[in-house]
Structure 1
Amino acid sequence: MTGTHASGQRLYRLLVSFVFTLLVFNRWVVYNTPLDGLDGSWAIALHLARAAGLDYGTDFIFTYGPLGWYTTRLPIAVESWEIVLLDLVYVFHVYIIIWFVLGNQFSWLRYGIVAGLVTLHTLAAGTEIPFVFYFFVLAYLGYYQRTRRAWLLVGASVIAILSFYMKANVGLVSLGSLVIYALIQRLTGEMTSRHLLISMSSMAGLLALSVVLLPVQLGPYLVAQWHLIDSYNDVMYLVQNKRAILVSLLILGLSIGALSWPLYQLLKRGQLPGFLRREGVLFGLVALQLFVLFKESFVRADAGHIGFFYKYGLLPFTILALFSAHSSVRRWAVLPMILLALAAPKLVAYNWDSSFPYRWVSQAFSYGQDVWNPVRPSLVTNRMGFPVSWLNRLNQKRVDIMPADVALLYHHKLRYTPRPIMQTYQVTDAYLDSLNAAYYGSARAADYVVIAWDAIDGRDPFNDEPATKLALRTHYAVVDQQGDWLLLGKKPIRQTDYKAPFRTQVAQIGHSVPVRPADGCWQRWQIDCRYRPMGALQRLLFQPPSLHVELTYRSGQRDTFRTAIPLLKGGLLIGPHPRNLTNMSHFLQRRDQHLPGLASIRLLADTSLFYPTVHVRQYPLNLSGNGQPDYAD
């Protein structure tokens, strides 16, 4: 009778795990629909780069890597079986984790909590698959800590490599977590030298294999990703939803307090040193994952990113609830998960659906049918697009677009030939800008470039990618202007626009610096502005303090734009300053007399968070000369 009861328990656990897994998977079809706009454009660009065979790190650079197509899942240059294969990896790991969470003995409380958390995760809007793979890495390490089976270290390496090539910032932390865990466990005597060797060699071997199998140049890829990650913290912040962040900080504070209690009890019993030796590194990696998630959510604090904290904040605490050897730690780790579940519906957009409890049945059938005969949805857009005369000219030509609207090129079925950092808003420091500038001066550059006058987050459209703008002025000429777009074509005559620096000036934040043209009317100002310690700490833990540049024109008019330290260090173009697309056309055609004259600039910032003194290196630019366009017709 006992055996029959145990078999029934296992069957029930298997079925519930299966249903919960399908609810978490939550997919009807294999492919997503290509979308218009900023986010739709970078998603399309990832797939077009794959179709063109571009190498990541040299030809193409973005926060998502050569496996980033799995996060976007578009019917462009990706076979359905490739997506389904990674879906199986994802579903298998979700199933195993839910199986472990449900436990051997049925408990209404345990099953109820899991059902609530599955509901929260499924209905909360947004998805960040690389972060879930990061969680899988910690789950492997937690299970290794319980069982000491070497194959789990290999599994962690495989998943960490996958997350690294899906999205580099999350993947680097995944790989780093594996290295940190193995080294500290070996130093504390909790891991054998053999297991350390297995962990490190499997990761190194998989990295070496990936360089052969994937379109990536690993060295340049790592360098470029570091620049993207570091400067992202300065440039890409948004003013936060204060209510959401206060609630998140309250939850984190209560979580720290709750988990401190069992640690205090261990301290009183004299067991804390042994606990920290065995489990301290796992505790630290859980804290690191929470920090990464907090930064991911509240640096770019729009509605989509904020939701990640309340959707995925459950995952790090699950590691402690599953794999800690101490029952009190496992019990207290459930508290922050419940707090997140209670707070999220008030703060996060939800995809409410009354059919949620049973829709997994129709979803499973729909997904299975689509695997057998996948539907490939096309881009839907209501925009007018380019004029027919442009389309005739651009047919079969290599085309790039600035700042970001790749979806429009895809809509017109043009031959997309991107600069390395393919969206202007991602060009967040001088190194990245130099890659794009060098591209436009090379033989492989696009035959034509389409330009719109646009920027994100209140930045100056003219001083986004300043070196790239100079390269365009040098190597391209204006062909036409239609509506919101300029069309540029290549020039046969190319010249170098830079000279050696001629002057260094000391200035103060809040004080105007007059523009005094020398050696012609154009200069490039590289401004060395630095955080005070409190400003640097704010940047590290949350968001950087705000920084703006005010431009005063000779007419007395002013423009104020948001800027950031890496953008200032990269340099501002100082001279007659375009304020719209027509002005930009004059700049590119060297008709500087038609541009608004710039009288002074002023930095605006809180000097308790920035050092008030800045150093300005002023470079004269020789922008004279002209050439007739060569359109490679």
Structure 2
Amino acid sequence: MIASAARALLVITLVLFCLPLAPLMPGWGLDASFALAVAQAQADGLVFGRQVIFTLGPYAPLYTALYHPGTDDLMLAAGSLLAVGYAAICWQLRPAPVAAVLATLLLASLFTSRDALLLCYPLLALLAVLRGRHGSILLGAPLGLLLLTKGSLLPLVLLALITAAIVLLRRGDGRRALGFVGSVVLAVPVLWLLAGQPLDALGAYWRGQLPLISGFADAMSSDGPQWQVLLWLAMAAIVALAVAFQPWSNSGRWPWVLNLLALLFVAFKAGFVRHDMHAVIASDCLLLLACLLLGVATRRLSAGVALLASLLAWQQLDVMYPYADRPPLFARAAGFYEGKVQALWSRIWHPERLDQRFWAALEALQQRYDLPSLTGGVDIYSANQAELLASRNRWQPRPVFQSYTAYTPWLAARNREFLRSADVPEHLLLRIEPIDGRLPALEDGASWATLAQHYRLRQQAGNGYLYLQRRPAVQASAPLEPTLRLPAHLGQALLVPEGAAGWQASVVVRKSLRGQVWGLLYKAQPLRLGVELADGRHLDYRFVPGMAVEPIPLSPLVNDTDDFARLLRGEPTFFARNRVVAINLYCPGGCRDWASDWQLRLTPLPAALAD
């Protein structure tokens, strides 16, 4: 009886984590903008993979936990399916009572990351399906849901499926292998259709995920305290050893160790490639794993050491971020359950309150940014989609709707081709706001010439945006002249010839062998671009090579929104003052991850930007 009650409490805790009973509301900033945008895209019936290309899929609200009236039912249904999966895991693993109570307390008081909740599921589902006798379909179906929530989970899901199939077939248990693998294969198209997505777009969804995954590290990396990385690696090694030395029945250790190492690798990349609050993902993965594995380990001492290691990693990483002033452990756990009960009560008896809070949040955003009502479709550059959505204008976005994520040539080309299609919006709101100190033209600069060809500058408003309106007739574009190719060396200044009407540039730079390996395992050194202008100014920017394979405007240099307006107006003084005289591509401290030779390719600025 006591054992059942302890396990039931753990199940209830995990179910409460899976169900977004108290969802977030719209806010300002990059993360809040993409969370609202993907929810709005799903609510508007936009097709993922075609009209929307992002790291999240149609079930994104399960990950973002953001409320939207048009996706709340979908979010709750997805959370319920994931909750069923976690309940099935606990049912199959049957953790020891003391371990279940301890895991419940620690998770209710310390765990915060929805990333970790999704990342850990494939390994835990594999553990459950190989140790149990039933429930393979209940364990497998949520894996299909994960794939349509966040595409980067594909490697972990595939590895779990392949491992389970091999082990179960070797045992002669083909029925469970078919149930587990088949439930995932069937769940993906069924859930895709239930989300209102056309079946023939599923392939496009996966094609869009590949460049988003492959280009992430080079484009989005940032540095943090190295001692955090080393500490996490040491604690992760302890957890891995504790798992490896458990006597894992007749299937051997290799399934657990292989999938655990894959999970730890993905958690490491998720936490430390962009080393800011993302580090919480890595620490919470260790915490969740250690808590759930503690209850099924037969060698309790090693499992206890793993739990202590995960707690040390959590304490050193999580407290450095906005949760530092937390109440004591039991008070936090009590607050977790109290908050969930209140949220459930409110949903049952006062469901209208969520809608009221949602519209109030949008109203606050509208008053803050004061965007006008425009007739026809509207898109916004570069990334603050929440500002546009709060204005109640009809959102008509480009496929890669956050400019900072168009970080490979394929992604940049999708946005440029959209501007040439029949689906372009009537109006654009544009503000130059690169992230991480990037060269401004990197973020959708490959679309600027096409944008100027199809749109005219209407006004420059006081809220920091340029208002552009679609031209009644598209300006003719002259064919580009032959490319000028200039060889260069990293760390050495390269003189830029004076062009009659400015230059577009593409950069060909490649990683060294060390950079390719290090970029796969962790992240390569970031490149910097030093720029010297004709008026004597020296500027320095973060440079992302994948965003400059497609030609982007280089000279005259566009540094902010006002400069972009001057470029569109063709102001001679701006062209003269911001003409680029020399550039220097380099790495602070020396470039070991990049080949020393690179090439600058210049073509005259297109007439749409040079007139």
Into which bin does the TM-score normalised by the smaller protein fall?
A: 0.7 to 0.9
Task: Encode CA deviations 1:378-410: one digit per residue, 9 max, x unaligned.
Answer: 3164775566xx725x1x321111111112112
CA distance in 2, matches of 1:415, 1:229: 30
Task: Encode CA deviations 1:538-585: one digit per residue, 9 max, x unaligned.
Answer: 212222212111111112211111012312323442221122222100
Task: Encode CA deviations 1:151-184: one digit per residue, 9 max, x unaligned.
Answer: 51x33431111111111112x1243123321454
CA distance in 2, matches of 1:199, 1:16: 26
Q: Is the aligned partner of 1:479 residue 2:458?
A: yes
Q: Is the aligned partner of 1:356 residue 2:332?
A: yes
Alignment of 1:597-608 (within 5 A): 597-605=579-587, 606-608=590-592
User: Which residue identity does 2:121 align to in structure 1?
Assistant: F
User: Which residue identity does 2:341 align to in structure 1?
Assistant: A
1:603 to 1:497, Cα distance in 2 relative to 1, 3 A: farther
1:438 to 1:485, Cα distance in 2 relative to 1, 3 A: same
SS at match of 1:302: coil
What displacement does 1:52 show? Answer: 2.1
Question: Match for residue 367 of structure 1?
Answer: 344
CA contact (8 A) 1:475 1:490 kept: yes
TM-score of the superposition, structure 1-length normalised? 0.84
Q: Which moved more, 1:173-182 or 1:478-487?
A: 173-182
Could you tell me which of 239, 243, 259 is aligned with 1:285? 259
Q: Is the aligned partner of 1:17 residue 2:10?
A: yes
Q: Is the aligned partner of 1:248 residue 2:248?
A: no
CA distance in 1, matches of 2:519, 2:550: 19
CA distance in 1, matches of 2:293, 2:339: 34
CA distance in 2, matches of 1:592, 1:156: 65
CA distance in 2, matches of 1:134, 1:298: 15
User: Which residue identity does 1:70 align to in structure 2?
Assistant: L
Larger radius of gyration: 1
What displacement does 1:25 show? Answer: 6.0
CA distance in 1, matches of 2:269, 2:455: 40
1:111 to 1:30, Cα distance in 2 relative to 1, 3 A: closer
User: Which residue identity does 1:136 align to in structure 2?
Assistant: Y
What displacement does 1:332 show? Answer: 2.3
CA distance in 2, matches of 1:385, 1:14: 48
Q: Percent identity?
A: 20
CA distance in 2, matches of 1:497, 1:401: 28
Q: Structure 2, unaligned stretches of length 5 or more? A: none
Question: Match for residue 164 of structure 1?
Answer: 147
CA distance in 1, matches of 2:50, 2:482: 29
Q: Is the aligned partner of 1:402 residue 2:347?
A: no
CA distance in 1, matches of 2:2, 2:38: 46
Q: Is the aligned partner of 1:34 residue 2:31?
A: no
User: Which residue identity does 1:528 align to in structure 2?
Assistant: V
Question: Match for residue 129 of structure 2?
Answer: 144
CA contact (8 A) 2:224 2:276 kept: yes
1:525 to 1:254, Cα distance in 2 relative to 1, 3 A: same
Question: Match for residue 307 of structure 2?
Answer: 337
CA distance in 2, matches of 1:313, 1:571: 43
Q: Is the aligned partner of 1:503 residue 2:450?
A: no
1:178 to 1:112, Cα distance in 2 relative to 1, 3 A: closer
Could you tell me which of 418, 422, 434 is aligned with 1:439? 418
CA contact (8 A) 2:6 2:101 kept: no
User: Which residue identity does 2:314 align to in structure 1?
Assistant: A
SS at match of 2:10: helix
Question: Match for residue 4 of structure 1?
Answer: none
Alignment of 1:450-461 (within 5 A): 450-461=429-440
CA distance in 2, matches of 1:612, 1:476: 40
What displacement does 1:71 show? Answer: 2.5
Could you tell me which of 92, 103, 110 is aligned with 1:123? 110
SS at match of 1:516: coil
CA contact (8 A) 1:30 1:371 kept: no
TM-score of the superposition, structure 2-length normalised? 0.87
What displacement does 1:613 show? Answer: 0.7
Question: Match for residue 220 of structure 1?
Answer: 204
Q: Is the aligned partner of 1:462 residue 2:452?
A: no
1:572 to 1:590, Cα distance in 2 relative to 1, 3 A: same
Task: Encode CA deviations 1:389-435: one digit per residue, 9 max, x unaligned.
Answer: x725x1x3211111111121122211111111111111111111111
What displacement does 1:314 show? Answer: 2.6
SS at match of 2:253: helix
Give RMSD over aligned pairs: 3.1
CA distance in 2, matches of 1:200, 1:24: 25
Q: Structure 1, unaligned stretches of length 5 or more? A: 1-7, 267-271, 628-633
Q: Which moved more, 1:44-53 or 1:332-341?
A: 332-341
Could you tell me which of 101, 118, 126 is aligned with 1:133? 118
What displacement does 1:94 show? Answer: 4.1
CA distance in 1, matches of 2:563, 2:339: 55
SS at match of 2:344: helix
CA contact (8 A) 2:60 2:150 kept: yes
Q: How many residues align?
A: 589
CA contact (8 A) 1:133 1:159 kept: no
Q: Is the aligned partner of 1:490 residue 2:482?
A: no
CA distance in 1, matches of 2:484, 2:156: 45
Task: Encode CA deviations 1:511-544: one digit per residue, 9 max, x unaligned.
Answer: 12222255x4343322221122222222122222
CA distance in 2, matches of 1:384, 1:358: 37
User: Which residue identity does 1:345 align to in structure 2?
Assistant: Q
What displacement does 1:251 show? Answer: 1.1
Q: Is the aligned partner of 1:237 residue 2:224?
A: no
CA distance in 2, matches of 1:420, 1:32: 25
User: Which residue identity does 2:582 align to in structure 1?
Assistant: S
CA contact (8 A) 1:24 1:118 kept: no
Question: Match for residue 630 of structure 1?
Answer: none
